C-alpha cells in the first residue's frame, strides 16, 4: 500500500548550513505538501492566529501522549471497583480523576469479560482516543482494517494473533467524530500481588483498541 | 467487488478489502506540525472537525489511495483556512514559491524552526 507509509531507511546524516545534523525526516527532497505546511504555518504566525510557541507546545504534547496514559486508566479500574464503575458509567468524567484531560469528546469505556470481547474501529475516518493512546497506528487508518473488522472481526483478530473461542461474543464499536471508545481489557490471572504501576505495564495500546489482550506477567 | 451506490467511498465498513498492513511509522516533524495546526486553528474556531472531514471526503477515493494521511490533512486544513478568510490563495501561492526557493530539503526550507 503506498499510502500512510514513509520509508526512512535511506536517510543520510547530512548537516544543516549551521552544522547541525538534520532530523531524519528533514533531509528528503521537499514535497509540495511540506512546502504547503511551511507556508501555512508562517502565514498563521505572521497574521497572529497562532504563535510558534503554541505550535511547539502542541507538538510536544502530542509526543508526550502515549498508551501509558490509557494503561494507567485500565490499571486503576482493575484495582478500584468504584473507579471502574464510574469509568463504565461516564468515561469522560472518570479519566479527569486521574489527570487526563478528556477535551470536548465523549469517552466510552467498554469492558472485556469472559463472555464478551470488544474491539474498536472508525469506519468513516480515523477517530481514536488520542488523549489516552497518542496518535493512532497506521493500520487503524487504513482501508483493510476499517472495512473488514466490522464484517469478519474474528478473522481480523486472528490475524493480530488473537484467537477467540466461539463462546466469546465479539462486539465491534464504530467511533464517530464526537465520541471515542476505550477497551477495558480483562485483568490477567495471577496478578493479585501486583501494584497499579506493574499492572499498567501489562496493558498495551493494542489491548485498549481490542486487537489484543492484556499481557500475562 | 460489489457495487454499493448508497455509501460514499469513505464509508468503508463492510466493504471488501485486502490484508492489513501492520507496519507502522513514526510521524515526521512536518506531519506533527500539520496535526498541530489543525488542532490549534480548529480550537480557535476557524473551522470544525466536520469541515476537516468534508474536504477529506470530497477529495475522493483516488486521493485516499495515492496520498499519505497528512498530505490529505494539510490540503484539508489549508482549504478550510482559505474558506475562513485567514489568508488568500495568492498569499499562499507566493509563500509556497518562496519556501521552495530556499533549498532542496524540508530542513533547509523550513527555516530554523522553533
User: Which of A43, A208, A47 minimizes the C-alpha distance to A140?
Assistant: A208
> Which pLDDT belongs to residue B64?
83
Tens-digit pLDDT profile for residues A125-155: 888 998 899 989 999 998 899 999 999 999 9
Give the model's confidence band at B17: pLDDT under 50 very low, under 70 low, under 90 confident, else very high: confident
Say yes or no to pLDDT of A14 above 50.
no
Inter-chain residue contact A144 with B20, CB threshold 8 Å: yes
Say yes or no to pLDDT of B16 above 60.
yes
Among the listed ranges A7-11, A92-96, B95-99, which one has the minimum average pLDDT value?
Answer: A7-11
Q: Which residues of A are catalytic?
A: 122, 125-127
The torsion angles phi and psi of A120, rounded to 5 degrees, stand at: -115, 145
As beta bridge partners, residue A174 has A121
Kindly report the nearest CA distance between residue B5 and chain A, in angstroms: 16
Say yes or no to pLDDT of A18 above 60.
no
> Which pLDDT belongs to residue B29?
93
Class of domain A67-209: alpha beta
- Distance, CA of A107 to CA of A98 (rounded, Å): 14
Kindly report the nearest CA distance between residue B102 and chain A, in angstroms: 10
Say yes or no to pLDDT of A7 above 60.
no
> Which pLDDT belongs to residue A162?
97
Contacts of B56 in chain A (CB under 8 A): 125
User: Which one of B8, B13, B44, B48 makes the best mutation probe of the A interface by having the most chain A beta carbons within 10 Å?
Assistant: B13
Say yes or no to pLDDT of A5 above 80.
no
- Distance, CA of A182 to CA of A187 (rounded, Å): 15
- Domains belonging to chain B, first-starting first, are 29-109 (1.10.472.20)
> Which pLDDT belongs to residue B5?
64
Nearest beta carbon to residue A142 from set B21, B95, B107: B21
Higher pLDDT, A102 or B96: B96
A68-95: average pLDDT: 96
The residue in chain B having the minimum alpha-carbon distance to the alpha carbon of residue A137 is B24
> Which pLDDT belongs to residue A26?
63
Among the listed ranges A12-16, A95-99, B18-22, which one has the minimum average pLDDT value?
Answer: A12-16
Contacts of B88 in chain A (CB under 8 A): none
Inter-chain residue contact B69 with A150, CB threshold 8 Å: no
- Percent of chain A clearing pLDDT 70 (strictly above): 87
- Are A208 and A185 in contact by the 8 Å Cβ rule? The answer is yes
Say which residues have a Cβ less than 8 Å from residue B83's Cβ, sequence separation at least 6.
B47, B51
Tens-digit pLDDT profile for residues A174-187: 998 788 999 999 99
> Which pLDDT belongs to residue A109?
97
Say yes or no to pLDDT of B30 above 80.
yes
**A 147-176 residues with CB below 8 A of B?**
147-148, 150-151, 156, 159-160, 174
Residue A44, judged by CB atoms within 10 A of its CB (0-12, 13-18, 19+), counts as: buried
Q: Which long-range contacts (CB under 8 A, 24 or more apart) does A196-201 make?
A: A196/A72, A196/A75, A196/A76, A196/A78, A196/A79, A197/A75, A199/A74, A199/A75, A199/A78, A199/A79, A200/A68, A200/A71, A200/A72, A200/A74, A200/A75, A201/A71
Question: What is the average pLDDT value for chain A, to the nearest integer?
Answer: 88
Q: Cβ of B89 under 8 Å from any chain A Cβ?
A: no
Query: Which three three-digit cell numbers place residue B12?
Result: 468503508
Domain ranges of chain A: 24-64, 67-209
- Are A52 and B56 in contact by the 8 Å Cβ rule? The answer is no
Length of chain A: 217
Say which residues have a Cβ less than 8 Å from residue A105's Cβ, sequence separation at least 6.
A92, A129, A131, A178, A179, A180
The torsion angles phi and psi of A96, rounded to 5 degrees, stand at: -60, -35
Give the model's confidence band at B61: pLDDT under 50 very low, under 70 low, under 90 confident, else very high: confident
Q: Cβ of B84 under 8 Å from any chain A Cβ?
A: no
Interchain CB contacts (distance < 8 Å): A and B? 212
Higher pLDDT, B20 or B2: B20
- Distance, CA of B77 to CA of B34 (rounded, Å): 8
Q: In this structure, how many other beta carbons lie within 10 angstroms of the beta carbon of residue A53?
A: 10
Q: Cβ of A35 under 8 Å from any chain B Cβ?
A: yes
DSSP string, B14-79: T-----------PPPHHHHHHHHHHHHHHHTTS--HHHHHHHHHHT-HHHHHHS-HHHHHHHHHHH
> Which pLDDT belongs to residue B4?
56
Among the listed ranges A11-15, A157-161, B9-13, B85-89, which one has the minimum average pLDDT value?
Answer: A11-15
Query: Which three three-digit cell numbers place residue A145?
Result: 482494517
Q: Cβ of B99 under 8 Å from any chain A Cβ?
A: yes
Amino acid at each position: 500500500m503506498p499510502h500512510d507509509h514513509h520509508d526512512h531507511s535511506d536517510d543520510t546524516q547530512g548537516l544543516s548550513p549551521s552544522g547541525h545534523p538534520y532530523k531524519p525526516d528533514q533531509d528528503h527532497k521537499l514535497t509540495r505538501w511540506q512546502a504547503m505546511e511551511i507556508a501555512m504555518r508562517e502565514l498563521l504566525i505572521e497574521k497572529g492566529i497562532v504563535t510558534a510557541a503554541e505550535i511547539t507546545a502542541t507538538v510536544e504534547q502530542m509526543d508526550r501522549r502515549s498508551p501509558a496514559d490509557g494503561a494507567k486508566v485500565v490499571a486503576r479500574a482493575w484495582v478500584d471497583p468504584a473507579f471502574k464503575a464510574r469509568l463504565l458509567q461516564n468515561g469522560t468524567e472518570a479519566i479527569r480523576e486521574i489527570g487526563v484531560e478528556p477535551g470536548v469528546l465523549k469517552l466510552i469505556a467498554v469492558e472485556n469479560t469472559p463472555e464478551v470481547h470488544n474491539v474498536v474501529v472508525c469506519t468513516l475516518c480515523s477517530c481514536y482516543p488520542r488523549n489516552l493512546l497518542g496518535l493512532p497506528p497506521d493500520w487503524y487508518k487504513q482501508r483493510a482494517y476499517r472495512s473488514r473488522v466490522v464484517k469478519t472481526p474474528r478473522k481480523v483478530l486472528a490475524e493480530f494473533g488473537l484467537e477467540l473461542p466461539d463462546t466469546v461474543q465479539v462486539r465491534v464499536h464504530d467511533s464517530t467524530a464526537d465520541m471515542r471508545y476505550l477497551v477495558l481489557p480483562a485483568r490477567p490471572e495471577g496478578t493479585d500481588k501486583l501494584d497499579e504501576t506493574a499492572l499498567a505495564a501489562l496493558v498495551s495500546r493494542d489491548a485498549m483498541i481490542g486487537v489484543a489482550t492484556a499481557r500475562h506477567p | 467487488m460489489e457495487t454499493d451506490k448508497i455509501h460514499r467511498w469513505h464509508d468503508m465498513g463492510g466493504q471488501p478489502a485486502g490484508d492489513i498492513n501492520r507496519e507502522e511509522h513514526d510521524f515526521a516533524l512536518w506531519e506533527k506540525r500539520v496535526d498541530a495546526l489543525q488542532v490549534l486553528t480548529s480550537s480557535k474556531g476557524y473551522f470544525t472537525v466536520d469541515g476537516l472531514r468534508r474536504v477529506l471526503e470530497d477529495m475522493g477515493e483516488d486521493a485516499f489511495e495515492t496520498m499519505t494521511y497528512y498530505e490529505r490533512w494539510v490540503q484539508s486544513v489549508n482549504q478550510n483556512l482559505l474558506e475562513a478568510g485567514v489568508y488568500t490563495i495568492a498569499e499562499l501561492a507566493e509563500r509556497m514559491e518562496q519556501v521552495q526557493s530556499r533549498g532542496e530539503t524540508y530542513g533547509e526550507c523550513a527555516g530554523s524552526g522553533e
